[in-house]
Structure 1
Amino acid sequence: MSSLLRSTPEDQGLSATALDAFVGALDASAQEIQTLILLRHGKVVLEEAWAPYRIEDPHLLFSISKSFTSTGIGLLVADGKLSIDDKVVSFFSADELPDTISDNLAAMEIRHLLTMSTGHAQDTIEALGRDERMIRTFLGLEVAHAPGAPFVYNTGATYMLSAIVGKVTGETLLDYLRPRLFGPLGIDEATWPTSKEGVTLGGWGLSINTESLARFSQFLLQRGEWDGEQLVPAAWIDEATKKQVDNSSETNPDWQQGYGYQFWRARNNAYRGDGAFGQYCLVLPDHDATLVITSASPDMQAVMDIIWEHLLPALQGEAGDGTARPPRLELVPPTGATYAGDGRTYEFDANPMGIAAVRLDPDGTGTFTLVPGSLADDAQATTGRTQELSFAPGPWQEDVDKLQDTPQRLVTSAYGDGDTFVAIVRYLESPYVVTMRCRVDGEALQIDLRFNVSFWPPELTLRSR
């Protein structure tokens, strides 16, 4: 049975009051928490979603994807189809390899990809970009140090692990994992884009919902066992989640505890997969517990600090300090005066956000005509389509982004701020929130956009033609 069992905190040795204080601390923090699930002794004892987010919605996991890629490698090792001692170059054809193979590249093994100790001086992902031939680009980069050298976080290395899965199996990593991991765990909603050369991205891009991530975390705690079946050898889970390389040069304390095979060690003998902007899959073996969180956190260490300050004592049997949790967990839209537009339609040249036209009406609403843009992270845009998105004062209005290959839930709201119409859109299957401040300037409309979290510059200005 792949569904998770539910229980009360008290039946699993926890104080409900202490868990309320933990939720209250998260809610009061500057970290925007969206969903969470806590399991104790294999049962869900805490399950929360901050409206308008929902537990059942897929969520972009960013680098938690790496931990799933590691598990795929573990399955191939268990089947005897590869060894972590295998040389990386041995999997690739002559037209993918550089003309001259350096000694350091020749020495690179699968274990070095797994442990982020490839010998590169920096993360290779920017060099790879979205090139047509990412494999060849990676193999052509300078390997400055002998593999096994100090830890350097390297998303390009995880992409190469995914490429190796493809070479060995003749399938994408996602297709390989469906019957062997996702199916048994009941993860039916998984999406994971491929590169232009047909390789599952590996290091990023996986989307599953919060409960599915909780199943994966429990599977890890059970050392690869699920419903009485050993899906992945316990020995692999043990090796993958223990300290394999030193990463004490990292800045934050929960990022200095060692790195395994695409897993971070953490304080208090814990380990985790984590993803940009506050996605967590935290396993606490000493307390037979796991915690998953999706969020739009500007400070990932701050969330870990809240966990250690408020959740760890609860797991140790403390009753909590009586701090109350909010009666409703929600992320409310900001409010202001009603903005009376002039009803004109302002048209825009091609831009990264895909805003083709904007109309601001006298009743305080706005309508944006959208075409596929270029900032859609990991959601491959479908060309030749348009969509109208409405923004109005008051509660969130639910809609769907139809311009992606897989339509995604979003909500919108708006308010007036003096001479400015402020439109907000939350993409509910990711951490992204975009605030668009629209102001008429002569015959043009200027839009100042700000992203809550982003790999791109956090601000962008557009001006109608």
Structure 2
Amino acid sequence: MENLITRPLPRSLPEAQGISSAAISAFLKHMEGQRLGLHSFMLLRHGAVVAEAWWSPYRPELPHSLYSLSKSFTSTAIGQAVAEGHLTVEDKVVSFFPEDAPADISPNLANMNISHLLMMGTGHTEDTTPYMENSEDGNWVKAFLQLPVGKTPGTHFLYNTGATYMLSAILQKVSGLTLLEYLEPRLFAPLGIHNPAWDSCPRGINKGGYGLSITTEDIAAFGQLYLQQGVWNNRQLLPKEWVAAASSRQIDNNDGSPGASSSDWSKGYGYQFWRCRHNAYRGDGAFGQFCIVMPEQDAVVAITSGDSDMQSILNGVWDILLPGMSMEPEAVESDPAAHAELAQLLAHLSIQPVQLQKVSALEETLNGKVYRLKDHPQQLASLALSFTATEAVLTLQGRYGEQTVKLGRGEWAESSAKILDHNNNLIMSSFTWTDENTLKMTLLLVETPFCLTFEVAVREGSIVLKQQFNVSMSAEDLEAEFIGRLA
């Protein structure tokens, strides 16, 4: 039955698949209580979705940035390319790029092969990504190959997103297709993944290590494919041997640090998958994007979120969901009351807009005025606000030209604008006055992990703008303050 799965995935009552509704409710309440910033959650057991949740205004049909969970899809493409005879995991990395290799190839670089890229055992002692992204000519392959390889490949684990990019570049070299084009007929179309998007480097190679956006159910289907050892709808999309290799420990990543025994980042690393406690494995991405495969429980967990405390999310899976799964399905009796409570909980999960003071006399003062900002890291040059009875319009001038965002008065309003990057971001926004002089605007970039908050304190002829992100790759980008002067 499970090998016949197609999309949409089959749905079932939790108890019918040997898991209690009460355990799922307890997990969701724990996530809420710990404020772990979940955007969506889907649990599959025995091939059926037994619970699915989106914290409104996040929605089932919206894609979500996967960050490093993208890596597991890149590994899958390499597995399919191996099966098609395009390459082997023993092939040397430099052999694909003679034109970009350094004149003097070190023994370690000469020995680096595809399996070392897959297992994050390239021999580098620091992540190559910043050097690649900052390369002046935009040739990320050349930048990667020029860097020193300090250790023998295969002996030293270092999480290295540049290694995954190289897998994407190699695949494009041998197939003539981008990673996205290659996976479309081989993985995405068979799994029912529609309109996947993948960011590219300046030379048009998909980034591989990050940049893929798909929906939560797409993530769940991908996990189910691995759980079924590469079979989908009675087709072997991915060799069983590849699933075994990718999901097993290829390299040790336990540095012996205190707390390693309770960390899911020290259980070994496969081919772009992390080993977990409880004999599970996962693909994951920054700020809590998860595809957790639990072979012993015949279960898959898909999660998207915007939180830096990823270990706490995993702890919730192991401490609350896992004990609720019975190995004997008939041992979990039907519990209509518990299921009704779960259904009620799932229906009302939401991120509520802040609503403190609905209006302020200062709206007239601000209306239509343009304030110029200096030294803004996102190159935001100016902002202007206008107000109506039901909403505000925020107009931003910056590196992507003029962008406008609608904000609901104490409720979410939908816009599309270029705020974080060159892509159009779908944004759900609201505003409130925290006091007579201070305006707070909340922008949920609902296809990403990010929430951006602007707080505007109004002064005579100027404003003080406080900008805050919920999560960021660098701590200094989390909060900033700027003065805006009346234009």
Instruction: Please indicate the TM-score interval, normalised by the length of the shorter structure.
Output: over 0.9
Q: When the two structures are aligned, how many residues end up with a matched partner? A: 454
Matched to 2:350, the amino acid is E
- CA distance in structure 1 between the aligned counterparts of 2:61 and 2:187, rounded to whole angstroms: 19
1:398 paired with 2:414, answer yes
| Aligned position for 2:180 | 174
For 2:150, give the aligned amino acid.
Answer: A
Gaps of 5+ in 1: 374-382
Picking from 217, 220, 223, the partner of 2:226 is: 220
Q: For residue 380 of structure 1, what is the aligned residue in structure 2?
A: none
**Match of residue 67 from structure 1:** 72
Match of 2:119, as an amino acid? Answer: T
Q: Distance in 1 between matches of 2:313 and 2:41?
A: 12
Q: Following the alignment from structure 1 to structure 2, what is the Cα–Cα distance between the partners of residues 300 and 464? A: 36
Query: Does residue 44 of the first structure (1) align with residue 49 of the second (2)?
Result: yes
What is the identity, as a one-letter code, of the residue corresponding to 1:464?
G
Asked if the contact 1:357/1:370 (under 8 Å) is kept, the reply is yes
What fraction of aligned residue pairs are identical, expressed as a percent? 41
Q: Cα distance 1:213–1:350, how it changes in 2: closer, same or farther (>3 A)? A: same
Q: By how many angstroms is 1:150 displaced?
A: 1.7
Q: Aligned partner of 1:460: which letter? A: A
In the other structure, the counterpart of 2:287 is: 277
SS of equivalent to 2:264: helix
| Corresponding residue of 1:335 | 355
User: TM-score, normalized by length of structure 2?
Assistant: 0.88
Which residue number in structure 2 is paired with residue 189 of structure 1? 195
Corresponding residue of 1:104: 108
1:368 equivalent among 391, 394, 403: 394
Aligned partner of 1:356 in structure 2 is 382
Letter of the 2:131 counterpart: A
The answer to which structure has the higher helix fraction is: 2
Between the aligned partners of 1:24 and 1:336, the Cα distance in structure 2 is: 25
In the aligned structure 1, how far is the partner of 2:7 from the partner of 2:106?
47
Determine helix, strand or coil for the equivalent of 2:39.
Answer: strand
Q: Which residue of 2 aligns with 1:87?
A: 92
Q: Contact 1:358 / 1:366 at 8 angstroms: preserved in 2?
A: no
Change (3 A) 1:402 1:143: closer
* One-letter identity of the residue aligned with 2:439: F
Instruction: Kindly report the root-mean-square deviation, in angstroms, between the aligned alpha carbons of the 2 structures.
Output: 2.3
Query: Please, which moves more after superposition, 132-141 or 353-362?
Result: 353-362
For residue 413 of structure 1, the aligned residue among 430, 443, 447 is 430
Encode CA deviations 1:324-358: one digit per residue, 9 max, x unaligned.
Answer: 66461111112222333312332346841646322
Measure, in 1, the Cα distance between the counterparts of 2:390 and 2:382.
Answer: 20
Counterpart of 1:347 in structure 2 is: 372
Q: Which moved more, 1:208-217 or 1:330-339?
A: 330-339
Partner SS, residue 56 of structure 1: coil
Which amino acid counterpart does residue 18 of structure 1 have in structure 2? A
Q: CA deviation at 1:222?
A: 0.6
Q: Does the 8 Å contact 1:355/1:369 carry over to 2? A: no
Partner Cα separation in structure 2 for residue 2 and residue 292 of structure 1: 16
Who is 1:300 aligned against? Answer: 310
* Normalised TM-score (structure 1): 0.92
Deviations 1:33-57 (A, max 9, x none): 1111111111111111111111211
Match of 2:102, SS state, is coil
**Cα distance in 2 for residues equivalent to 1:33 and 1:355:** 32
- Residue by residue over 1:23-79, the C-alpha shift from the partner in whole angstroms, topping out at 9 and shown as x without a partner, is 222222220111111111111111111111112110000000000000011011111
The aligned amino acid for 2:186 is: R
- The answer for unaligned runs of 5 or more in structure 2 is 1-5
Moved more, 129-138 or 325-334: 325-334
SS in 1 for 2:452: strand
Q: How does 1:137-148 map to 2 (within 5 A)?
A: 137-148=143-154
2:383–2:397 CA contact under 8 A, matched in 1: no
* Cα distance change of structure 1 residues 46 and 353 upon mapping to structure 2, 3 Å threshold: farther
Are the aligned partners of 1:130 and 1:196 in contact in 2 as well (CA < 8 Å)?
no
Pick one of 448, 455, 461 that aligns with 1:443.
Answer: 461
Instruction: Note if contact 1:58-1:189 (Cα within 8 Å) is conserved in structure 2.
Output: no
Instruction: Tell me which residue corresponds to 1:378.
Output: none
Q: CA deviation at 1:147?
A: 0.7
Q: 1:146, CA displacement in angstroms?
A: 1.1
Q: Are 1:409 and 1:429, in contact at CA under 8 Å, matched by a contact in 2?
A: yes
Moved more, 130-139 or 62-71: 130-139
- Identify the match of residue 122 of structure 1 among 126, 132, 156: 126
- Once the two structures are TM-superposed, the CA of residue 17 in structure 1 deviates from its matched residue by 2.1
The answer to whether 1:389 aligns with 2:405 is: yes
